[in-house]
Homo-oligomer: A and B are copies of this chain.
Amino acid sequence: MSGRGEVLQLEVLDILRQRNKPVSAYDVLGELRKTKVKMAPQTVYRVLAALTECGKIHRLESLKAYVNCQHGSHQHASILSICDDCGRVEESVAPDLLAKLSKVTGKTGFAAQRHVIEVHGLCASCGTGPAPA
């Protein structure tokens, strides 16, 4: 395992941290290009793949975007709640729920390997006071 790309990984992590919202690959690319004009999509995708692989960031399939892990890093699947109003994402862990899910899907002999769980809705601040007239 080489470590040449690690600086770039940290930069990307920082971009996601600063935004604190889902960021698309091309948004990341745009940020990086502010200092590295020649940055290419391929490079960004590779960094994002590496970070996703080791659990430091998560990809939101239903948004085609990325957030950094709110628990620093982990392998196990997490549950991502996406506010469709403000865009904020919350991350929950619930091992028992994952187990149950594997059990449900396993009824037909299916062997679960990767769970994608994304919940759309409204976060606490957006759901309660939608501002009167």
| Residues of chain A at the chain B interface (Cβ within 8 Å) | 61-62, 79, 81, 83-84, 90, 92, 94, 97, 100-102, 104-105, 107-124, 127-128
Task: Give the residue name and chain of the B residue nearest to A107 (CB).
Answer: B92
The reply to whether B112 and A119 contact each other, CB–CB distance below 8 Å, is yes
Residues of B within 8 A of A111 (CB): 121-123, 127
CA distance A46 to B124 in the complex (A): 32
CA distance A130 to B128 in the complex (A): 52
Question: Measured between C-beta atoms, what is the minimum distance from A66 to chain B in Å?
Answer: 14
Task: Give the residue name and chain of the B residue nearest to A59 (CB).
Answer: B62
Q: Which of B62, B81, B102, B128 contacts A105 (CB 8 A)?
A: B81
